[in-house]
Structure 1
Amino acid sequence: MADQPYQCFRFKDSEYKVPIQPIDGEPFVLLDDIHGRTGYKGESFSCKSNPVRFVRNNRYEREIPLRIPAMPDSIIDCDIVEGMIGVTTIHNKLDRLQKSVERIDEKVDKIDLDMEILKKKADALLRQTFQLAEFTVPRLFIILPDTTSKLKQMNRFRNCFRLFFFCEHEEQCHLAFHDGYELDQPGKFIQKYGPYLKNMITVVNVALTVSSVLIPQLGHVASGIYIPEVLRDKRFLTNFQAKLKPLSAMLDEHIPSNDILITLLQHAGNCII
């Protein structure tokens, strides 16, 4: 059996023998073997003052495993370059960074896909629940606390509410372009429609979570259409969501709910949180 060929390296006035590895019929010395045999951790080599380059492919990328051509009849010096970080270390860090970016991109794509699926499911569930396609007049509505009510001003101890309808567009559902209707007998109204309102609040919360269009996009509204002042308020969405909380708490305390519908809708919303 033929003896293992070696390449001689010189590092700090000492010489070391590193095995030569044949790759595709050509003799090379692997960087890992150099590091392991010599204790040299750099990547700069020379032979008779001429640099010894790493093997690269046609895209000028260093071939893996990292290697240099063998020169068995000569001694290759391990050059010490002060202040220089090993190129391998930099490449390894860049590779890890690239892989991390790719994983992040995959997760973002999956989140975007999940969001779109949940949005479609929430919209479909809302339409199926209330059979939107069979009616031509608004039937979806919600009430919100009304702090501007004249009745409230006359009696500060009275809880006042305003009724808002939703426009049931074939592709999206949004608040109708109307200031809403003041309820002069909110107690009787809530007593009659309380269960419906509880379910509707759950639907609205889920729709807001998955970015369903409940607040009309004013920039796309045709000229000549009346836009109520309440929708012009930049804080309307924040106020809208804030008003849902006390209303929901009040209804939870006094009105039984459709547990099956609420469980399904809340589960859909929780999937993206």
Structure 2
Amino acid sequence: MERTTFKTKSQSVRFHDTIVQIQTVVFNGIECLCLEDVQRRFPLAVALCIDNAELGFLRDNNDDQLIPLRIEAIKDQIVEVVESVGKSNDEMHIFFDRIDTKMQEMTKKTDIILANTQETLVRIKHVMTQMYELHEYTTPRYFFILPAKHHNWASINTVQNLFLLHYKLYFLCECSDEPDKLHIAPHDGYSIKKPSEFIANYGSYLRTTLTIARNLFSIGGFVIPQSENVSTVVANALPTFIKEPNNYNEVNNKLDLVEKMLNQTNDELSRVDSSMIRKAILPEASLQGAQLRELEAFLELVDNKHSLGNLYRTITNDGHVRWVCLEHYHAMSFHNKMSEYIRQLEAFGGKYNQETKEVILTGTLTTKNITMFCDALTKGFTILTLVLQNCSLNTKDLDKLFDVIINRSSIQRLIIMNVEVRKWMKMSTYVCNNMIVYLKNQSLKIQFCNYHQSEDTKMLVQLLQQNKICRTLNFFGYDLSIHDQDLLRCLKENKELTTLVINYFMNIEFLNEIITSNCSPYRIKLSYCFNISSTLYGLCQAIGQNETLLDLDIMDQTCIDDKSATIELLDVLRKHKSIKNVRLHVFDIQPSNKNETCLITSLLNDSFISHLR
């Protein structure tokens, strides 16, 4: 029997980049490293090696491996762990082979389903096209029927029994040209008075609409309320049987029963009423206007509304009449208005790109043009980019246009290039050469060209004067001159702007006047503004006079390398009554210098520094 002795010796073992010490065990005087001890640390270990030479496990006199599996410990060397790569790869290959087989099977089934579905949809769309040729649409034209209650469907096997069931009729919203994009009308259905006569009149047509309903109910296994053409509002108003996912099999059984009834009607309807045979054996074609007018006579109308299935009659741009739900009624009406706005826009020379949602206006813009365009914007004309290029308009019309663009439109970018602003009698006031305005999340970001002129700033002033909702103003890429008194006055008096973000700005006098004004912003962010110490000293003086500033952000790659300026700023901030958060970027902090001492004191005693770099 083997004698086992545990000593406090260990073997160095490496697995990938990890080296650990694993305790060895002495068996019959031989110090060994057990595989199971290695596997406790590295579960994938199956063998051990040195310099890529695998080490054999110790064996007995019969050449059988000793249990537990072990090797003789090797002093002053690192044993490498060999993981189960081969077995893992085999298992993964088997796994992926199974997946590949399943995917091939699913692809074949899907191709068959798609082929059948496409063939059906083509046939249905042909019937829909014929339906749109009709001019008399007093009622919706797309409908199907289902038994109203659950029955033992297997026991119902004759036409006579099928006609004794209680059926309900459900309309479809005609919101699309594609049969697989329709949806059930938001109504709980109408009871049918005389099922046998109803089938005699509409049986052939029901075969087509029943196929539409079946495709809608389960397209790839998704229930109707999940269709992209159905909003949450419509889905919540759909019939109860549609909204309950547990009814999936039940509804399919009902669809099968109706299909069974329609298929047997041609053969067995004579037993019910021989006078109906001729009507029942109609080709699968569209209904005539007279048949649609008679439809309402077969329904038990329990509501007093003037619409069937909560559907409303509308006319499309191509003159077709459709019956749609209230949501799609509004959407189609809006689309018609959009088309009209685009026509009006193009009538006075404007261009509209429907893909990019970009509008370009050029030439002389009259008051009538601006009024029409602003009216379209306020009523939902979706524009993302507006380009005013080589055009002219009077100053009052420009004010109205800016008011709508900033406060009541979907425009996210305004590009102004060579725009002349006129007063009365067509006298030119100024010309803006180039300005880009980005509007997003109540923020205005202004960008001029490097060669901007004072007239460009006048355009900015006129823009800011119309702002009512934007709270952040972001200047980018240019230096404001102290001579821009109109802009300075506008910023000092502007009560809407609460945040200033300024980049590459050296005019500290201009900034100080804003900070010390009665309408000073609550938040200021400065970037690339402190190349010289005097700029920071000037800011300190302005902040000392301000009583409303809450947040100051000068996380600037160019600041702050002046020790005395840094100490001055921290001292001013410490005494400030309203400041809450400060973000600083400080250079040249050396051990035991004044900067370090001042910062340590501030971090220990003050709470206003929220970020320090």
Q: TM-score range by the shorter chain?
A: 0.3 to 0.5
TM-score calculated relative to the size of structure 1: 0.48
- Larger-Rg structure: 2
Which protein, 1 or 2, shows the higher relative CO under an 8 Å CA cutoff with sep ≥ 6? Answer: 1
The structure whose residues are more often strand, as a share, is 2
